Structure 1
Amino acid sequence: MYGSYRSSYYPSYRYSYPSYGYGSSYYDRIYGNYSYGNYDSGGSDYGSSNYGSYDPYPYYSNYYYGYGRRRRNYWERDRDTYNSWRRNENTARTRTPSPETPPPPPQPEVPEEELVKELHVKDIDLHIKANTEKHRTADYDCTKDRKVDGKLEPAELVVRRGDTIKMTITFDKSPYSKEKNDLQLIFSIGKDPKPARGTKVEFKIDESGNQKFKPDKWGATLQDKTGNDITILVYIPANCIIGEWNFYVKTISEGKDKDGKDKTLSGTYKPKDDITILFNPWCKEDGVYMATENLLNEYICNENGAVWRGNHEQRGASAWNYGQFEEGILEICLHLVRSGFGPDKLRHMSNPVQVSRMIVKMVNASDDNGVIMGNWSGEYEGGTPPWKWAGSIKILKQWQKSGPVKFGQCWVFACVTTTVCRALGIPCRTVTNFASAHDTDETNSIEKYFSPDDEELEEYNADSIWNFHVWNEAWMARPDLEPYYPYGWQVIDATPQERSEGVYMCGPCPVAAIRKGDCSTKYDAGFIFSEVNADKVHWRVFPGDRAELIEILKDKIGKFISTKTPTGLQFKYKKHMSMAEKDDYAMERCLDLTMDYKPKEGTEAERESVMNAHRTARFPIIETYLGEEEIVKHVEFHLYHDNKAMIGSKMEIEFTAKNTGRNERKISYASIRVYAQSYTGYNGRMLLSRTFNGATLKPGEEKRFGAVLEPDDYLYYLLEQASVRIDAKANVDRAGDEEKQRARKEHVVRFRRPDLEVEGPEETKVGDTVRFKVTVINPLDRPLTNCSFSMESVGFEDLSEDVPTMDVPARGVHTEEFMLRAVKRKKYGAVYFSFDCKEIPDISGSTEIRINP
């Protein structure tokens, strides 16, 4: 009676909550991944259970007896306890003694083959070569046996989520039996793994061999059984947390003991190595899925890249060594992101949106002990000048060893970000925006203020326009922005310019949202829009801080947004190229992204995008998008100069005025000034100033004002990137019905610098020592002093320190030879050299070399 009551009141069922993961349901996020066994109220089906999983709703027999006593009936097991309680009952009733219970009959001896025996795991073969080739991770240096600090390190398994991996388990005494044995896998990550956090999961191995895996669930199925070996397929869900996962194999054996009683034995085996799991852009269910294989060859697999610098009239490119597959880099990148989230928020490492945001936060060292300290002061004592870096490997390894690295600027931040993203499996590219605005007051326009006599008011001018700025695009899905921007390229930026949510980071923000001027989109859409498509607005300030709108320049910001064409190949100048040939080569390998960020300048669609940005600006200036009164200008002004002048040569400047009206016009004032300028728009020393007497122009007449900038005027006063800003101004008096004019032209010019010529063989073998010849040509009429070389490579043993070298005489040529040993097989090995001196910083060159086994 009691048994029927118990079975009806405590039905045989289990609760099963869905597992936590990126894109999961509410209960996934709240309760984590629980998987409970299938037990009957009258017995145990342990072979199909998930042993060790916590059960928040245990049925009665489990709760009362615990696991080890479930098979015994309640009354058989506790008759003595019940009678003892009855004997102690205070009652006057007369008891009739019960007859003595006869001893149980002797049990037959259990045959040896039926006795329960523990199943021992001897070894697990992770099939590293086959798994890494399948998962496209074989290029990681850690997946091969190698020497690290003189010690032989065995290969490690690196795989991508959303796919299966093969394992072979070997048992040492007896083979695996489907009837008597069960296996469970336990995966965990972090210091205190918990199912509720998504950092621990347990699941059994399906024995049918035909289990169909679900994209967001862990699973395993038996594939083959031979002797004492079984081969299984383990499925890693496409929303798995990335990182180094520990895993265990739990064996369960059921049978009888010598007395014929049911007995269960279990054991645990921990392999020596962890399994590193990364994002999988080849998997449709992963948030970083990219359908085009050729693009993945560039944005995941290419270790070599290029970054464009200069200005929109002079765009030059230099090679960069990303090195995402090099020894130790993957471990450093994972540690970087993991340390940013902390141990309690590792679940966010399943979400590429949050991971990319954390990457840009941690690449700069402004708020945390991130990788790179920014410095735009021009003083780099105690660190490395930004232009001397040729790749990401030295930077990341130095950070791992001693903390934040000194120093970097925008292209260094961006190139290191590319390395980290590609290493973790997020498609990423380095992007340069020329004439890039920096909006400091969230008006979504760039304001510049002048005094009544047309002098710049530096105390008012917080906004700036950089000659160029480098950021990144990362490819991922945005389920938080559906249905408007479900997937695509997202801008991320590690350069510490403005704070986002209280810290220096920027993005991810969809490029498609920037094109529409949808500045309410997270993250940081307004700031990024201003960089590429804000209007430049000039104001004149009168006493009492009264401001008058002078003009709105609608096409001065966001020029030639550039990245490397996705060929999957190295960016490499050919030997003995002229400067013009190098320019042509760089432009051929440049992909112009400008139309992705904004419609064509001046079109109705482009103006609508700007208006959308003004409507959604945090602090809009109404007069800006109402527009200025159109003034017909009857005198045309132009500014001319040489855009390809080599450093050390003179520059001729010409400012012209042409009268296109009906009346004679008088130019009451004209001037040309030249300033040294940093690439961030900061004006340094005035290098040249020429003021011209007034001139009268008849209708159709043209007047030329000229000046010459000599080497002695600028050579020792140039700032980084060797840029100068040319300002030309003129005032035209009113004549008849033609209004007075104020003309201003601003051009930024970058002096050309020589490149290093790097010569070496086309191929070599691992272990061979290779001779490289590096040549620098001095274009100046004075020696280059305080000279040194530095280098970084893919596949070679790098120089640990800078190599000082002799001064290079005026107009002279200097060649240095370097002997480097090839240490790793590389299809596209490369060496990157940089040359530094007091007179001309930032001279670099590289060459490609194949390294055979």
Structure 2
Amino acid sequence: MFFLSRTKTGSLWSAVSSEKASISMKIDISSPANAVIGRYRLSYQIYSMCSTTSHSLADIILLFNPWAPGDDVYMADAALRKEYVLNDFGILYAGNQHYIQGKPWNYGQFERNILKTSLAMLDRSINYSKDKAKDVSSRYDPVYVGRVCSAVINSNDEKGVLLGKWGEPYSDGVKPSDWNGSVAILRQWYNNNYQSVKYGQCWVFSGVMCTVLRCLGIPARSVTNFESAHDTDVNLTIDKYVDPSGVPLHQKDSIWNFHVWNEGWFVRKDLGSFYNGWQVLDATPQEPSEGSAKEREIYKKACNKLFRGSLEDSSVVSDEDLENDLADDFSEDSEEEPQGSQISAQFKLANSPLFGQDVNVMLVLKNATSDSKTIRINQKAFSVDYTGTAVKEILKVNTSVDLSSNDEKQISLKIPFDQYENSLTEDNIIQVVAVCEDEQGKKQLVQRSIVIESPPIIIKAPDQVTVKRTVQVEAVFENPLSEELKNCRLVVEGSGLVKDPLKIKVGDLKPKEKMTVPFKITPYTCGTQQLLVALICEKISEVKNYQSIAVVKA
């Protein structure tokens, strides 16, 4: 409760009379920058000598405000606010360091009921169930809200929004690669009485997290790290084991081809101004963060090292120079590593092959010694998921090659389509490995992940349309295979263009058949909008495209 006053009070709720008439007055109500976000019921009371009367004005929702200099999420640059708060579409990056693949994603933070769902998430947390008053009173802090959202989005602890799954079968849910945005996921969770939606993987968790943070007013972005080390025992090393032929053995540590997390923009009053800015938040269920302040300081520097590596997000990520080296914090004498073979080896690939094509990769060997060498080569190819886990062996080739001093030779490896087509996971990744052994028994392991590119789908739509006027759009796709594609369907999404996803049954596509599927959309929001079209079928995954459409007033 607060009283009508003459001046605005920045640190407290205030109500100031700005205009008066004979029977009415205008009152400006201001909230402090650190007010708790969420739902409020606004009412007023009139006191007189004889009585007090109360009247309800409205139910309001208060959010974080990146436009307000006093708010913990304040972002001064208008262009950055436009990208990280207002943009309702983005690209989530996947693939590997050699072939970066963009996944179009409909964030849809301004779509119907997404704010209601985002606020409902806060009330589904463990913290809220344990102590409602304490939880709600902490919602002024974006650090706290970010952690709650991260926990509730995955179902590990809170019976949350998404259930993670990293392999077939997905028949009782949706395959992670078939999701095109956050709106369908959040609506399904809310409408089905908060039952976890099946299924998600890292980019799906990140896309939903980005939607919720932006919806609540926290600037946010999705960030991809390639060759992403997953260090389960927290010793800052990755322990990797392979069998004599180079195939990875089961292990706790792993290096994922990519991992997608989030960053939220806010100050860190708990840590000090040095830490203000982008904060890492990861909704993918893994190990919880822990450790002493000293350990966190070292990990922060390790993360800075990491962030200077292979990073992609839906906009530009600026790198900051490191002022200190990790060696200042932990250094020790170490024994010299044993020398391996003086034969250099690497796989080369001209470009990522299209699904339906053979894969041709070249192993390049060079003898850097003054002696001739005979090298025995064991090569294998197997499918992996994006976490680097071997799934199924595709082929195995053993050969040998003679190398004279300073000689270089190329050994070709062909992986026919008919050998890999039924072995791939939805991630479309093949890993090739070679174990090269000289006469002295010295071995060298070389490996490379190859992303199989999905065939294109073309969108034919006007560059400019008028709001609330229906227009026709076409999707064009050609089956690249010499076999039938079964149970094909189109899914069409796009904030401001399609209120609910369109699901269009296409049926079966004959070998090499070209289809043209017409459909209609009625734009409902002015501005530049993104139309996303995906083809879903049993054989091929990740057939997606998007097109920008300018929606203008009538």
Q: CA deviation at 1:480?
A: 0.8
> What amino acid sits opposite 2:522 in the alignment?
R
Measured in 1, the distance between the counterparts of 2:113 and 2:547 equals: 24
Measured in 1, the distance between the counterparts of 2:386 and 2:302 equals: 18
The alpha-carbon distance between structure 1 residues 335 and 831, as it changes in their structure 2 partners (threshold 3 A), is same
Instruction: Name the residue aligned to 2:26.
Output: 231
The alpha-carbon distance between structure 1 residues 796 and 489, as it changes in their structure 2 partners (threshold 3 A), is same
Superposition map of 1:605-644 within 5 A: 608-609=325-326, 612=329, 626=334, 628-629=336-337, 631=339, 634-644=342-352
Superposition map of 1:45-56 within 5 A: none
Q: CA deviation at 1:466?
A: 1.0
The alpha-carbon distance between structure 1 residues 531 and 724, as it changes in their structure 2 partners (threshold 3 A), is farther
2:79 aligned with 1:294, yes or no? yes
**8 A Cα contact 1:414 1:493, kept in partner:** yes
2:403 aligned with 1:697, yes or no? yes
Measured in 2, the distance between the counterparts of 1:483 and 1:592 equals: 20
Q: CA deviation at 1:724?
A: 0.3
- RMSD between aligned alpha carbons? 2.6
The 3-state SS of whatever aligns with 2:86 is: coil
Deviations 1:689-743 (A, max 9, x none): 11113x4432122233332111111011111221100101111234xxxxx6321
The 3-state SS of whatever aligns with 1:325 is: coil
Q: Quick check: 419-428 or 224-233, which moved more?
A: 224-233
2:447 aligned with 1:657, yes or no? no
The 3-state SS of whatever aligns with 2:147 is: helix
> What amino acid sits opposite 2:393 in the alignment?
M
Q: CA deviation at 1:811?
A: 2.4
2:24 aligned with 1:323, yes or no? no
Quick one: percent identity of the two aligned structures?
29
Instruction: Name the residue aligned to 2:119.
Output: 334
Deviations 1:441-498 (A, max 9, x none): 11111111246x4655724x2111111111111001001111542x110010101122
The alpha-carbon distance between structure 1 residues 530 and 218, as it changes in their structure 2 partners (threshold 3 A), is same
> What amino acid sits opposite 2:507 in the alignment?
M
The 3-state SS of whatever aligns with 1:350 is: coil
Measured in 2, the distance between the counterparts of 1:798 and 1:764 equals: 16
Deviations 1:2-33 (A, max 9, x none): xxxxxxxxxxxxxxxxxxxxxxxxxxxxxxxx
Superposition map of 1:449-528 within 5 A: 449-450=241-242, 453=244, 458-459=249-250, 461-482=251-272, 484-485=274-275, 487-500=276-289, 519-521=295-297, 526=299
Superposition map of 1:343-358 within 5 A: 343-344=132-133, 345-358=135-148
Instruction: Name the residue aligned to 1:409.
Output: 201
The alpha-carbon distance between structure 1 residues 316 and 456, as it changes in their structure 2 partners (threshold 3 A), is closer
Superposition map of 1:428-467 within 5 A: 428-450=220-242, 453=244, 458-459=249-250, 461-467=251-257
The 3-state SS of whatever aligns with 1:418 is: helix
Measured in 2, the distance between the counterparts of 1:610 and 1:776 equals: 54
**8 A Cα contact 2:492 2:533, kept in partner:** yes
**8 A Cα contact 1:727 1:745, kept in partner:** yes
**8 A Cα contact 2:246 2:445, kept in partner:** no
Instruction: Name the residue aligned to 1:563.
Output: 313
Instruction: Name the residue aligned to 1:270.
Output: 56
Measured in 2, the distance between the counterparts of 1:662 and 1:371 equals: 62
**8 A Cα contact 1:218 1:235, kept in partner:** yes
2:507 aligned with 1:711, yes or no? no
Instruction: Name the residue aligned to 1:309.
Output: 94
The alpha-carbon distance between structure 1 residues 847 and 330, as it changes in their structure 2 partners (threshold 3 A), is same
> What amino acid sits opposite 2:534 in the alignment?
S
Q: CA deviation at 1:632?
A: 7.5
2:215 aligned with 1:419, yes or no? no
Q: Quick check: 357-366 or 766-775, which moved more?
A: 766-775
The alpha-carbon distance between structure 1 residues 269 and 798, as it changes in their structure 2 partners (threshold 3 A), is closer
The 3-state SS of whatever aligns with 1:721 is: coil
The 3-state SS of whatever aligns with 1:217 is: coil
The alpha-carbon distance between structure 1 residues 314 and 519, as it changes in their structure 2 partners (threshold 3 A), is farther
**8 A Cα contact 1:642 1:651, kept in partner:** no
The alpha-carbon distance between structure 1 residues 283 and 677, as it changes in their structure 2 partners (threshold 3 A), is same
2:424 aligned with 1:724, yes or no? no
Find the partner of 1:680 among 374, 382, 387: 387
> What amino acid sits opposite 1:520 in the alignment?
R
> What amino acid sits opposite 1:840 in the alignment?
I
2:80 aligned with 1:249, yes or no? no
Deviations 1:168-202 (A, max 9, x none): xxxxxxxxxxxxxxxxxxxxxxxxxxxxxxxxxx1
Measured in 1, the distance between the counterparts of 2:147 and 2:335 equals: 36
Measured in 2, the distance between the counterparts of 1:313 and 1:231 equals: 61
Deviations 1:125-170 (A, max 9, x none): xxxxxxxxxxxxxxxxxxxxxxxxxxxxxxxxxxxxxxxxxxxxxx
Compare the two structures and name the one with the higher strand fraction. Answer: 2
Number of aligned pairs?
546
**8 A Cα contact 1:679 1:720, kept in partner:** no
Measured in 1, the distance between the counterparts of 2:198 and 2:335 equals: 45
Structure 1 runs (4+) deviating above 4 angstroms are: 453-457, 528-534, 797-801
Superposition map of 1:81-96 within 5 A: none
The 3-state SS of whatever aligns with 1:786 is: strand
Q: CA deviation at 1:234?
A: 1.5
Deviations 1:263-287 (A, max 9, x none): x42111112x311111011222111
Q: CA deviation at 1:372?
A: 1.0
**8 A Cα contact 1:660 1:700, kept in partner:** yes
The alpha-carbon distance between structure 1 residues 422 and 610, as it changes in their structure 2 partners (threshold 3 A), is farther
2:553 aligned with 1:836, yes or no? no
The alpha-carbon distance between structure 1 residues 704 and 847, as it changes in their structure 2 partners (threshold 3 A), is closer
Higher RCO structure (Cα 8 Å, ≥6 apart): 2
Instruction: Name the residue aligned to 1:547.
Output: none
Q: CA deviation at 1:763?
A: 3.1
> What amino acid sits opposite 1:754 in the alignment?
P
The alpha-carbon distance between structure 1 residues 398 and 700, as it changes in their structure 2 partners (threshold 3 A), is same
**8 A Cα contact 1:435 1:559, kept in partner:** no
Superposition map of 1:187-206 within 5 A: 202-206=1-5
Find the partner of 2:67 among 262, 266, 282: 282
Q: CA deviation at 1:499?
A: 3.0
Deviations 1:329-380 (A, max 9, x none): 1111111123324222201111100000011111111222311111111211
Q: Quick check: 468-477 or 330-339, which moved more?
A: 330-339
In structure 2, stretches of 5+ residues that fail to align are: none
The 3-state SS of whatever aligns with 2:239 is: strand
> What amino acid sits opposite 1:686 in the alignment?
E
The alpha-carbon distance between structure 1 residues 762 and 305, as it changes in their structure 2 partners (threshold 3 A), is same
Measured in 2, the distance between the counterparts of 1:691 and 1:483 equals: 58
